[in-house]
Amino acid sequence: MSPPAAPIHDTPILGMVARPNVDVVTEYGNAASFWVEYPSGLVDLTRSAHIVGKADTHVVAATQEDVKPPPLKQESQFELEVEGGRTLRLNKTQTAIVIIDMQNFFLHPDLRDHPTGLKCVPPLQKAVPALRSLGSKIIWVNWGLTDHELTTIPPSLVRGFMKSGKGGFGSKLAGEFGRLLMRGEYNSDLYGPLQPLYEEGKAKGTDVWIHKNRMSGLWGPQSALDLYLQEEGITTLLFAGVNADQCVLGTLIDSYYRGYDCVTVRDAVATSSPTGGYENMIYNSGNSYGFLTDSEKIVKAAAA
């Protein structure tokens, strides 16, 4: 019996270590929301200039060899290096970093052992001021439950935060940490130097704090995060926080489904899951959901 024929079409990311550059200028999307990618590695996410002569289809490859990207608008745009030999062109005020669950409950050594999570703190201390200097928003998305929300959380989520039927959302933690992941409690504050970093940005008007009551900050219709992003006209999201393969990934995937541009900050995400959790999230962030960068590249972009 002869072996089965190779599939006519296969998932694009299978076997792909890095997505190859396009051969010709290529536009993806539609009239209102689109990217333009150039053979040089530039990917323009500003949605500001269609390919000349573009037909009304989802993906258009330009045949003109002289198609060049428009000049960078220094006052409103910046360029960020990402992995895979690409550079993203972004709108400064339409870009935000979404920092998820960098809270005492998940990071404080008196509550849990999360060394990789703690390693995300210094990169954020560099990336956050750099993004502020560009005029981009800093969005701290954190668990922060109300007593009413305790009555609406589904059983699967309630069970996941309990051990042997004990503890869970709203339960009293040891010492001064307060009730588990309730608004205003010490365990729900940002860890260590991140709390004053947020307070500094709040005073400047660059940082916002958004409460969530599910693993994803964008679950369901009209979440607080989604409403804020729409009101501010934000289209590009950089992702950081813990845990990479749980709350960060949940929010990232929901963002991807809603059409936001997704960029994961590699050195500012971590997980306490076994080997494979972080690696899977990183692999798919760069090869399927969007792009990968790091804090050093963000600092470099702000200094350009």
pLDDT of residue 121: 98
Is residue 127 located within the same domain as residue 257?
Answer: yes
Query: 99-157 pLDDT, tens per residue?
Result: 999 999 999 999 999 999 999 999 999 999 999 999 999 999 999 999 999 999 999 99
**How is the beta sheet containing 77-82 ordered, strand by strand?**
59-61, 26-29, 34-37, 42-44, 86-91, 77-82
Cα 24 to Cα 7: distance, rounded to the nearest angstrom: 26
> Considering the domain boundaries, does residue 298 fall inside one?
yes
Measured in whole angstroms, the distance separating CA 227 from the mean position of its chain's CA atoms is 16
pLDDT of residue 59: 56
Residue 48 lies in domain: 26-71
Buried b (16+ CB within 10 A) or exposed e, 187-219: bbbbbeebbebbeebeeeebbbebbbbbbbbbe
pLDDT of residue 19: 82
Is residue 219 located within the same domain as residue 111?
Answer: yes
Is residue 159 located within the same domain as residue 248?
Answer: yes
Is residue 53 located within the same domain as residue 181?
Answer: no
Q: Is 280 left (phi over 0), alpha (psi -120 to 50) or beta?
A: alpha
pLDDT of residue 51: 87
Total number of domains constituting the chain: 2
Is residue 161 located within the same domain as residue 40?
Answer: no
Is residue 132 located within the same domain as residue 251?
Answer: yes
pLDDT of residue 67: 78
> Considering the domain boundaries, does residue 86 fall inside one?
no
Is residue 64 located within the same domain as residue 199?
Answer: no
> Taking a C-beta distance cutoff of 8 angstroms, is the pair 259, 289 a contact?
no
Cα 40 to Cα 21: distance, rounded to the nearest angstrom: 8
CA atoms 21, 22, 24, 30: torsion sign = negative
> Considering the domain boundaries, does residue 152 fall inside one?
yes
Its pTM stands at 0.92
> Considering the domain boundaries, does residue 11 fall inside one?
no
Q: Domain containing 116 — which CATH number?
A: 3.40.50.850
> Considering the domain boundaries, does residue 223 fall inside one?
yes
- 123: tokens are 């990169």
Is residue 57 located within the same domain as residue 140?
Answer: no
Is residue 59 located within the same domain as residue 144?
Answer: no
pLDDT of residue 222: 87
Is residue 36 located within the same domain as residue 179?
Answer: no
Q: Is 259 left (phi over 0), alpha (psi -120 to 50) or beta?
A: left
pLDDT of residue 70: 92
> Considering the domain boundaries, does residue 293 fall inside one?
yes
- 80: tokens are 């960020």
Burial of 65 (C-beta count, 10 Å sphere; 0-12/13-18/19+): exposed
Among residues 6, 36, 71, the one where a domain terminates is 71
Is residue 264 located within the same domain as residue 126?
Answer: yes
> Considering the domain boundaries, does residue 7 fall inside one?
no
pLDDT of residue 16: 57
pLDDT of residue 64: 57
Is residue 101 located within the same domain as residue 224?
Answer: yes
> Considering the domain boundaries, does residue 82 fall inside one?
no
Read off φ and ψ for residue 106, nearest 5 degrees. -95, -20
pLDDT of residue 74: 97
Mean pLDDT per block of 10 residues along the chain (304 residues) reads 59 65 93 95 96 58 69 97 97 98 98 97 98 98 98 96 93 97 98 98 98 96 95 98 98 98 98 96 95 98 98
